Each structure stands twice: as C-alpha cells, then as structure tokens.
Amino acid sequence: MTTATSETPAAAATDPLDAAALARDFPILSEQVNGHRLVYLDSGATSQRPLAVLDAERDFLTHANAAVHRGAHTLAAEATELFEDARATVAGFVGAAPEQLVWTSGATLGLNLAAYSLGAALRLGPGDEIVTTAIEHHANLIPWQELAARTGASVRYIPAHDDGTLDLDAAAELIGERTRIVAFTHVSNVLGIINPVEKLIALAQAVGAVTVMDACQSAPHLPLDLPALGVDLAAFSGHKMMGPYGVGGLYGRAEVLESMPPFLTGGSMITTVTLEGAQYLPPPQRFEAGTQPIGPAIGLAAAVRYLDGIGLERIHAHEVMLAERMRAGLAEIPGIRLLGDAAGAGNAPRVGLWSFDVEGVHAHDAGQFLDARGIAVRVGHHCAAPLHARYGVTASVRASTALYNTPDDVDVLLDAVSGIRPYFGV
Amino acid sequence: MTTATSETPAAAATDPLDAAALARDFPILSEQVNGHRLVYLDSGATSQRPLAVLDAERDFLTHANAAVHRGAHTLAAEATELFEDARATVAGFVGAAPEQLVWTSGATLGLNLAAYSLGAALRLGPGDEIVTTAIEHHANLIPWQELAARTGASVRYIPAHDDGTLDLDAAAELIGERTRIVAFTHVSNVLGIINPVEKLIALAQAVGAVTVMDACQSAPHLPLDLPALGVDLAAFSGHKMMGPYGVGGLYGRAEVLESMPPFLTGGSMITTVTLEGAQYLPPPQRFEAGTQPIGPAIGLAAAVRYLDGIGLERIHAHEVMLAERMRAGLAEIPGIRLLGDAAGAGNAPRVGLWSFDVEGVHAHDAGQFLDARGIAVRVGHHCAAPLHARYGVTASVRASTALYNTPDDVDVLLDAVSGIRPYFGV
Amino acid sequence: MNELDALYRELILDHSKHPQHFGLADASAGEASAGEGRIGESYQKNPVCGDEITLRARVDGETIADVTWEGRGCSISQASASMLADLVAEEGLSRAEAVALIEGFREALRSRGQLELDEDVYGDAAALSGVSKFSARVKCAMLAWVALEDAIAKA
Amino acid sequence: MNELDALYRELILDHSKHPQHFGLADASAGEASAGEGRIGESYQKNPVCGDEITLRARVDGETIADVTWEGRGCSISQASASMLADLVAEEGLSRAEAVALIEGFREALRSRGQLELDEDVYGDAAALSGVSKFSARVKCAMLAWVALEDAIAKA
Ligand SMILES: Cc1ncc(COP(=O)(O)O)c(C=O)c1O
Ligand SMILES: Cc1ncc(COP(=O)(O)O)c(C=O)c1O
C-alpha cells in the first residue's frame, strides 16, 4: 500500500498517490463480496464513482433541475449555466474549447455519429477505403463495417504483431490515396497498450484522410490534449472515467465538425423548421438532438474535476506501477499467458490492465474462482472478438485498474490466480 | 388544495390524489425562486424526480454498480438482474413484455432509431410516402423529413383544425396505398390534446403501413397498454416521467422489431464478429449497442413504480381537473388566447397543460414576469415551430402540470397571468 | 427597484412600443436618394423563440451612415435594436468605434450584473444593463448588435 | 461445502475433462450405419464469451435415439452437454419426455437456488443444480439443452 505523501505544488505531478485513501471516496469499494473485501479490477468495463460525482448530480436534481436552453425561468437559466459550464470543464479536460465538445450518450454513440455523418460528409462510395485496426473494440469496428456495407466503400485493417503492438509498416502501406477515414483506438481495452497514434495521425494527414480516435481507455488514465495531438474526432464515455452512465463526449476539430451533417435530428438543434424541411445550428448543437443528459453531464464535469484534482500524470504513474506489479507476478504463475506482452517484458507504453489466458481453464471458470474471493475481473472477449481470434483464444480474463486500486489489490489477485489451475486440477 | 382522502382499494382508482402531500416527495419543490415558493409548471419539458428515484439510482451506484451482461462476477450478476428487472418493470408499465422494450437514451433517439431502421427494413424509395401530422414535436418530424430526403420518399402531413384536433377526414384521404409509415404523437406537447390514435392506427393498418407513436406526453399522464392499442412502435423519455435523464424506451411489436436491422452498432448486440462482418442478436439487444444507461434505467423503473403506486387513472383525473381550472381561469383574463381550445370549451380529451398567447406581450416577456413570482413556465415554440406557424404565432407560453401540482399552483398562475398585460402597459 | 423592474425599465418598454428606425431603408435606391455608401445586411434569429431581425447598415467610407431594421420578438430584442439604431444615428460612428462598442456591449451583458453600460457612451441602450442578470435574455438583447457586427463586416 | 465447490462438483469437472458423446455422428451415414431416424442439428452460441456448441440428435419415430455434440467453452457448458448426451443415451427418451425434461431443467436453473434437480430423473446432470445460484452461468449450463430443444424440433 502506498503511504500518504505531503505535497508541494512542484512535487505534486510525480508524487505517488495514496490509493487507499482515495478508495474511501468510493462508497462501493467498502462492500463485501462473498465474504471478502471487494477487490474491483473491472474498471475497464465501468469505473466506480466517487461521492463527489454522486453528490453533484443529486444537488443539481434537488436544487436546479430544469430543461436547458429553452426556458426563460430561473431554474432553466441556472440549469443551462451548469450544463454549459460542464461542457467547458469536460472539454478543458481533453484540452479542447467548449464548442469542440459534443455531448453523446457514450462512446458507442459518438463513434456511430462519426461513421454516419462522415459517410455523408465525405460522400463515401465504391473505391473509397476506411482503415482501422485488427485490435478494435466492436464499437470502433462494426460502425465502419456497416458504413462500408451501406456505401460500397471497403474496410482495411492494420494488423498487430504477436506482441500486441500495431504493425506500422503495414499501416504505412495500407494508408494511401484511397483512404478517406482512419479509425483507431488510443489504448486497447484488451491489451492495455498505448498505440503510437501520432504516427497514425501523421500517415492519415499525409493522404488527407479524416482521423477518428477511440479514447475510451485513455481519457480516464492519461493526460490528453486532443487539439495538440491533431486528431480530427475522438470519442469517450463518462462511465469509464468516474462519471455517470448515459453521457459521453465526442471531441471534434472545428473544421471537421463544421463539415459534418447532423446524425440524430429533433429538438434544440435547429434554427428553422417548416413542413418543408429544417435548417441546423452550428456545432456542437447540430449534433445534440433532443434533451441532453443534463444531470449526467454535470456529474461528468465533477468526475473530471476529481481526476484533474489528483492529476492525470500521477494517476498514470500509479496505474503503470500496478500493471508492472501485476505483470511481474503473473509471469511467475505457471500456465498464465499474457495477451500483448510486448517484447516479453511489457515494454510498450501501457495503462494499468492485463488480459491473460489460464492454460487449461476457461476464462469463465477462472473468473468464477476469483469472484469467490471477492475479486471482480472481466471474462469473455471484452467486445473485441477479432483481437481474441488473432491471439488464438475465444475468451480471456482481464484485470483492469484505476486510481483507487492498491498494490494490495494486485497481490490479492496474484495470490488467487495462482490457485486457479490447482483448483480445477490442471 | 386537495385534502388527503382515506383509501379503500376499491375507491383508489378514482380517489382524488393529495398533490400537496406528494409534492413533499420531490425535494426541489420546496425551493424558493426569486423570493417566492417555486411553482413548477414546466413538467412538459422535464418532470421533477421523487426521492425514491434519486435513492434507487444512488443505492445501485453505491452497492451493486458494474457493467451488465458481460461479467461473471457477483456485482455484474447483481447489476444484470437489476437492469433486466428494470426492463420488465418499465415494459410492464406500458403493458408490454420485457423483450418488447428497447432501452434508448430518450425519445429522440427512439424516433431516430425508428426512422433509420424502418427506412432500411422497408427499403423506402421514391413513390413511398410517410404520413405524419402538422402538429408534431420536431423529434417526430425532422427524422422523417431527413429519411425522405435520404431515400426519395415523401412526407405528407395530416392537418389540424382550428380547434387543435386532427383532421381525420384528411387523414383518411392521405393514408393510402403509397403510405409505408404513419407517425403521430399521442398527446401534443403544445396543445395537450389526446389524439384519436386508435383511428390513425386503424387507417394505417388498413393499408399495411407501420405505425410509430410519440408517447412522450402520454406515458407520464395516462394509463397505457401499447399492445392493446396495436401500435407498432412507440417512444418515450425517462426524464419526462419522473425518471432520470439519459434513458428512454422504444416499445415495439415483436414482428416489427424482428424485421428491423440494427441502427447503432457496437458491443453487446452481436453474436459473432469477424473482420469480415457481424451477426446480430435478436431484439431488444440488437438495438442496444454499447454500455446501456444502467443507473438511469434502474431509476426509471423506480419512477414507474412510483407512478403505478399512485395510479395513472388518478393522476390523469387530477391533471384534468387542474387543466380545467386553468382553462376556466385563463378564459376570464382579457387578451389571453388558448392554443387548441377545442370547441371553445376544452372538449377534446386532454392532459394537464395549456399553451397560450398573451395579446400584445411577447411570450418571453410574459414568462419573465411569471418567473419573478416564482412560477416556472415554458416560453418559445416548444420544439413545434410548424404548429405555432399553423396558429399564427411564433412563440407561446405553456403551463404544464404533473401529479405534484395543486389547485393552489394554478391559482397562483392565474393571479400572475392577470397581471402581465397591465405590467407591460397593454 | 426590484430585478424585474430593473430589467423592464420604462425606456425599454417605450422603445419596444415605438421602435426607432424600423423599416428597412431601400437598398437599391441607396446611393441615389439616401446618400453614398455600401449596404450591409444581416439576418439573425434566436432559435429558441423564433425571434428574428433583419438589419441594414449603410457604411460610407469608414463611417456608419445609418442603420435600419425590421423584426419581431420580445420587448428586450426590439428595444435593443431600436436603441442601437438611435445610437448610430446620433453618434455617427466609425467602423472601428462600432466594433469596439459592440464588444463592450457584449462584455457588459455577459458580466452577470458586474458591469454597467455607460450612458454617455451607449445612450438609451445603457438601460439594457439590467439584462446581464438574466442569462437567458442576453441573447435577446444581443440579437441586433450581432446583426450590426455582421452587416458592417459585409458592407 | 462452500458455494464455489457446490458449483464445481467433482462430477462436473470430470465430465468437462472427459466429455461424453463428443464428436458429431456422421449425419449422412446415419441411416445406413448408425441406425434409422431423422437427424436434427443445432448450433448455439453464448455471445458474451464466444462459447459454442453444435449438437446433433437422431430421432427415430418418437424416440431420441442418440445425441452427439462438439463445442468449446467453460467447464459448466461442456459438462452440461456431456451429461445431457449421457442422459439421452441411458434413458431412451421420447420427444415429449425430452421436451418436459428440458423445461424442468430450465426452471430449476432459473430458480435462484430454490429448486434441486432430481438425480433419479436427471442423472449426473442433477449435479448442475448449484448453477442456479450463479445467474451469470445459467446460460452456460443451458447451452446444450437449448441446442437439443432446437435440434429435435428440426428433426
Ligand atoms: C411530444 C414530444 N416528443 C418528443 C420529445 C423529445 O423528447 P426528448 O427531448 O426527451 O428526446 C418531447 C420533449 O421534448 C416531446 O414533448
Ligand atoms: C476501447 C473501447 N471502445 C469503446 C467502448 C464502448 O464504450 P461504451 O460501451 O461506453 O459506449 C469501450 C467500452 O466498452 C472500450 O473499452
């Protein structure tokens, strides 16, 4: 367990964080599961929420709740201010201006919006190519396959090396004149590897293709400056970054958002509507049809303030430390195969998660065994079936950390994992 | 103010409800606004939430939160059960089976899903017609206009009479062989009139057209049995029915849902994914890509339990009483024109809202005046610009009630409205 | 004075009932009859309530010669347009002055009651200071000023 | 016995390590070599983990003559398929009996620990009773049974 450190402003950025103390901000983490302390290692699926987030949403709902942008009454004005402040806060969290942030219900909607709207903006058709990778989450894969099916364009995949890193030589070959869109994940939700997205962006820019980044697994774990990165569009989900369900963000470069037609249509995104047709507001409102998730957005703003208060550099350093402890421990347990263990030593830059296969024991059974000890991990293909096929398995066990996990959590996991194969007699 | 009545089971259905007592379940209703007690008459935009809803969501987040359908661990299993119980509860609220309820982020998404997916299912093209009405909310209007623009189909509109009722003769003329989809609102969010939807459904069924109903303004106010009504698809929003933001439902008849391809794609809605393509789960999962609004869904289940606990018949009777009191009072104030005052006497069946024009005073100014007295109403076109054009105004004032409004709230409104024109010197 | 009265000053209600420079000056006849200059026109709309304004500015060299407008909307938006047109008529502003004035107006209106408009500079429009406490109404007051900004950029 | 051990009974682990009737009987050779009857086949998949099973039932008149299967997945799903195939082989069930048996199995598994499967009726498969306390695993145990239901409907 880390110990509390006194902070001076200068040291704060690198000071280790006190995860045990932070864990107390998360009520659920003091639950007992199957007679054991809950060891929550499933933050890659959904993170837990600190009290500050729960309270922000409840305060709003009990004191200022009203529909935004449409009422002149005091509550509506107050709600509108809180909602737009939340936009500025969440945009700022990824280095962006408020008008570059479109509210969505989550990353899946953001990526679908990107696919539908870019398809129309670029007038995609036969001969055009969409390049993505072979290690994507289904949310950044199927929308492109469907877009291709609708328009006659084709999808091409950047393959991964055995160690889980992307094959950049292949990427350089694949991304060419016909490429209109390049979509990739910043961090794989299975491998935990931070992809060299600057290089992909440079390749795409060289051929004038639009870039779309899945930032689900980076936004809660790494400091992000999306405008500096130069990516055109990037999507993330509130519930994976200590925020509420039902809200997410789609960041967009101004020119790119301007060029995109609306996807969902309805109230609050129009200038004029007649029975003949509608005219649309500029971004971000153009993409925000209907009542937005106002409470969740305000909750998400509280979440990113919480993350910023700790500091993303520190969070990242902490999680990297946990991941390295996990890797070292798992490597010593017979029959454990790590997915994406670059160069056999976890050399690729990464976030704090590992997926692994337990030889002779199905992931479901392994997960069940861990659950009996209060350890919550994820088992299955983690919505990345092609990735699993690439590494010759149908399912794996994934342990994913967040700022509230302690080295002790990792040790509890390691101890339990070492008991799996003996228990199942393999 | 109504007085508390002792309830016997037999009388419960018609017993007047004690709105003042119920209002105490809603923390925000004890707020002061501009030195006055808050009189919230904007439930048509968004309702307030009872403590039971706030607590249900928070309990979940502090005790059982986990990603559903994908984990074998205890929290995930618990969360999955709560989430699927919520589906059954909300489906049951509209008379439906669980598998007939698709979770959405709100009615706007539900209606867009319907438009995109039906467009593909029906292979809509030139010559095909979509019939809707001239009094729709933009959410049930623009998606059809855009669908028509994408496919070459055309949109035709059922006009409204001067009194706000739909012209059913015209409907019978319009709905014909070429009609593939008939979309209409159950209750207008501006007029408050309950449309004769059974008749529209019968006309549509006679020509084999798919029916899509906007149930936003009926679900919180009327007992609904959607399967009995025979409508094919119907959308509603959680936040308008005492539930959280970020969640809604799309009801669908089994055969119709079966016939529809997915709209949003991503995780948790597939059976098989390869780099070549994806195969999809049956409804409702087919339409639920990505992480669903789990907390909000559980909150919405608590909301409909709250509504059911009071009884929709009683709620409706109460709101009709408030609407009639409002109409009678407004009719006596010089210079007030009610929109959709059928037969001059509010004869059309309706819910508890009225929109009106204050002669010589812009709606914004009228709303501001009311706000200074703590009264929250909505001003503008209420996302129904063509309807306002139909009645020769660009904006109106809308006072919309819910179960927590008392006759006293109406009286406060009436007193204030009578002061508007004098204040502005007209 | 309560906040509502501070918003709806007498002057505002007067202007809204008797809007000044209402009715667009004929653009084509411009050079011959109404004087020299280039015409810039802007249409602005508040999507929430449907309020709209069309404003025409005649710019003679670097000077804004006159402003006329048409539109409909709430008393704040109408009064604001009327006051702005008056201000231009009275002061004979240069482009640069107009731009600075608009910026100052915007800043005051967004100040949430922190900044007061100076009557010596803004004339009747200074009465709109009270709007800044009503964030939902700032757009109403800004409508004409945004239109002028756009119109002179086009002229 | 703790809950985990109640889930993973020895018998279950045995079946999963030594699956019975694994390997699909040749469908085309069916009538000539393996006996009379109509073949029904079903493919089932658990989308969460990718577990899958292909099951072939040979139905002779009203009798389920035999069941063979192939698949991969967790120990529960594999053991369940193995036990089901054993049960059919031992009992020589009629269609109607099989349907009733499957229904009873489903009910017990969904009972959240309320119902126990009778060993006299379900044989080794009765050891799967413990699964009903683990709602996330019910699908795993059901996979083969759903496949049989589907296969005999097709046969
Ligand atoms: C009749 C009607 N339809 C659709 C909507 C859209 O609902 P939402 O904004 O919650 O998606 C509303 C509410 O604004 C409405 O009143
Ligand atoms: C890498 C990645 N992309 C996309 C998603 C989809 O996010 P959501 O389900 O919140 O829409 C997830 C999470 O499931 C993810 O991990």
Close Cβ partners of C9 (under 8 Å, ≥ 6 residues apart)? C127, C130
CA distance A229 to D147: 50
Share of chain B above pLDDT 70, in %: 95
Residue B73 has pLDDT above 70, yes or no: yes
Instruction: Please state which of the ranges A90-104, B302-316, D28-42 shows the lowest mean pLDDT.
Output: D28-42
Q: Amino acid identity of B238?
A: G
What is the CA C104 to chain-centroid distance, rounded?
Answer: 13
pLDDT band with cut points at 50, 70 and 90 for residue B72: confident
Which of C40-49, C55-64, C136-145 comes out lowest in average pLDDT?
A: C40-49
User: Is B70's pLDDT higher than 70?
Assistant: no
Q: What phi and psi values does residue B243 have, to the nearest 5 degrees?
A: -100, -175
- Asked if C4 and C116 touch (Cβ cutoff 8 Å), the reply is no
Predicted confidence (pLDDT) at residue B192 exceeds the cutoff of 50 = yes
Residues of D in contact with B281 (CB under 8 A): 47
| A109-137 pLDDT, tens digit each | 999 999 999 999 999 999 999 999 999 99
On the CB side of A80, CA atoms within 13 Å amount to 17
Confidence of residue D35 (pLDDT cuts 50, 70, 90): low
CA distances from B268 to A107, A194, B279 (A): 14, 24, 11
| Local structure of D6: helix, strand or coil | helix
Lowest average pLDDT, out of A102-106, A380-384, B181-185, B345-349, goes to B345-349
For residue D118, what are the CA distances in angstroms to D105, D127, D129? 10, 9, 9
Chains that touch D (3 or more CB pairs under 8 A): A, B
pLDDT at A230 over 60: yes
D94 and D74 in contact (C-beta within 8 Å)? no
Q: Do D and C share at least 3 CB pairs under 8 Å?
A: no
Task: Look at ligand 1, atom 12, and give the residue with the nearest C-alpha.
Answer: B216
pLDDT band at D25 (very low <50, low <70, confident <90, very high): confident
Report, as an integer, the average pLDDT of B54-69. Answer: 93
Q: Do D136 and B272 touch (CB under 8 A)?
A: no
pLDDT at B5 > cutoff 50: no
Q: What is the CATH number of the domain that holds C112?
A: 3.90.1010.10
Helix (H), strand (E), coil (C) string for chain B: CCCCCCCCHHHHCCCCCCHHHHHCCCHHHHCEECCEECEECECCCCCCCCHHHHHHHHHHHHHCCCCCCCCCCHHHHHHHHHHHHHHHHHHHHCCCCHHHEEEECCHHHHHHHHHHHHHHHCCCCCCCEEEEECCCCHHHCHHHHHHHHHHCCEEEEECECCCCCECHHHHHHHCCCCEEEEEEECECCCCCEECCHHHHHHHHHHCCCEEEEECCCCCCCCCCCHHHHCCCEEEEEHHHCCCCCCCEEEEECHHHHHHCCCCCCCCCCEEEECCCCEEECCCCHHHCCCCCCHHHHHHHHHHHHHHHHHCHHHHHHHHHHHHHHHHHHHHCCCCEEECCCHHHCCCCCECCEEEEEECCECHHHHHHHHHCCCEECEEECCCCHHHHHHCCCCCEEEEECCCCCCHHHHHHHHHHHCCHHHHCCC
Structure tokens at B228: 């009995």
Q: How many residues does chain B have?
A: 426
Determine the Cα–Cα distance for residues C85 and C89; give it in Å rounded to an integer: 6
With CB atoms and an 8 Å threshold, state whether B376 touches A273. no
Q: What is the model's pLDDT at position D132?
A: 93
Instruction: Look at A173-182, B60-69, B80-89 and tell me which has the smallest mean pLDDT.
Output: B60-69
- Using pLDDT thresholds of 50, 70 and 90, give the confidence band for residue C92: confident
Average pLDDT of chain D, as a whole number? 89
CA of B379 vs chain C CAs: smallest distance (Å): 7
pLDDT per residue as tens digits for the range A335-360: 999 998 855 545 678 999 999 999 99
pTM of the full structure: 0.94
Separation between Cα atoms, residue D128 and residue D109, nearest integer Å: 8
**Which H/E stretch holds residue D57?**
strand D51-60
Atom of ligand 1 nearest to the CA of B237: 10
Mean pLDDT over A362-381 rounds to 95
Q: How many CB atoms lie within 10 A of CB A425?
A: 12
* Chain B partners within 8 Å of C73 (Cβ): 362, 364
Nearest to B191 by CA among B398, B24, B27: B398
- Judged against a pLDDT cut of 90, whether residue C43 lies above it is answered with yes
B25-29 average pLDDT score = 96
Q: How confident is the model at residue A6 (pLDDT cuts 50, 70, 90)?
A: very low
- Count of A-C CB contacts under 8 Å: 19
Query: Which residue ranges does chain A devote to CATH 3.90.1150.10?
Result: 19-49+312-424
Q: Which strands, in side-by-side order, build the sheet including C38-46? A: C38-46, C51-60, C63-72
pLDDT band at C155 (very low <50, low <70, confident <90, very high): confident
Pairwise CA distance, residues B398 & B385, whole Å: 14
Rounded to the nearest integer, the mean pLDDT of chain B is: 93
Is D8 at the interface with chain A, CB within 8 A? yes
Pocket of ligand 1 (CB under 6 A): A 267, 290-291; B 106-108, 137, 139-140, 185, 189, 214, 216-217, 237, 383
- Tokens representing residue B227 in the block: 């399967």
The structure tokens listed for A250 are: 């789609």
Q: Is the pLDDT of residue A366 over 60?
A: yes
Would you say A213 and A231 are in contact if contact means Cβ atoms under 8 Å apart? yes
| A281/C137 Cβ within 8 A | no
Q: Which residues in chain A are closer than 8 Å to D134, comparing Cβ atoms?
A: 368
Q: Per-residue b/e over D65-79, b at no fewer than 16 CB within 10 Å?
A: bbbbbbbebbbbbbb
For chain A, where do the domains classified as CATH 3.40.640.10 start and end? 53-307
For domain B53-307, say whether CATH 3.40.91.10 is its number. no
Q: What is the pLDDT of residue C28?
A: 60
Is B287 in contact with B269 (CB distance < 8 Å)?
yes
Residue C27: which pLDDT band, with cuts at 50, 70 and 90? low
- What is the reported pLDDT for A11? 41
ipTM: 0.92
pLDDT > 80? residue A327: yes
Ligand 2 binding pocket includes A288 (Cβ within 6 Å)? no
**Digit-coded pLDDT (tens) for A239-281:** 999 999 999 999 999 999 999 999 999 998 988 899 999 999 9
Interval C105-125: pLDDT, tens: 999 999 998 999 999 999 999
Q: Which of B103, B104, B105, B108 to mutate to test the pocket of ligand 1 (most atoms within 8 A of CB)?
A: B108
Work out the percent of chain D whose per-residue pLDDT is above 70: 93
What is the predicted pLDDT for the residue at B184? 98
Interface of D with B in 84-123 (CB under 8 A): none
Domain containing D41 equals 3-154
With 0-12 CB in 10 A as exposed, 13-18 as middle and 19+ as buried, what is D99?
Answer: middle
Distance CA D77, CA A365 (A): 10
Q: CATH classification of B19-49+312-424, choosing from 3.90.1150.10, 3.40.350.10, 1.20.120.420, 3.30.930.10? A: 3.90.1150.10
Q: Residue B24: pLDDT band by 50, 70, 90 thresholds?
A: very high
| Per-residue pLDDT tens over the stretch C126-143 | 999 999 999 889 999 999
Is A383 marked active-site? yes
Put simply, whether C3 touches B (Cβ < 8 Å) is: yes
Check residue D77 and give its pLDDT.
94
Please count the structural domains in chain C.
Answer: 1
| Tens digits of residue pLDDT in B219-261 | 999 999 999 999 999 999 999 999 999 999 999 999 999 999 9
CB nearest D48 (choices: B70, B73, B81) = B70
pLDDT at A14: 62
Q: How many helices (H) and strands (E) does chain A have?
A: 15, 17
Mean of the pLDDT values across residues D79-87? 95
Q: What's the pLDDT score for residue D91?
A: 82
- Three-state DSSP at C42 gives strand
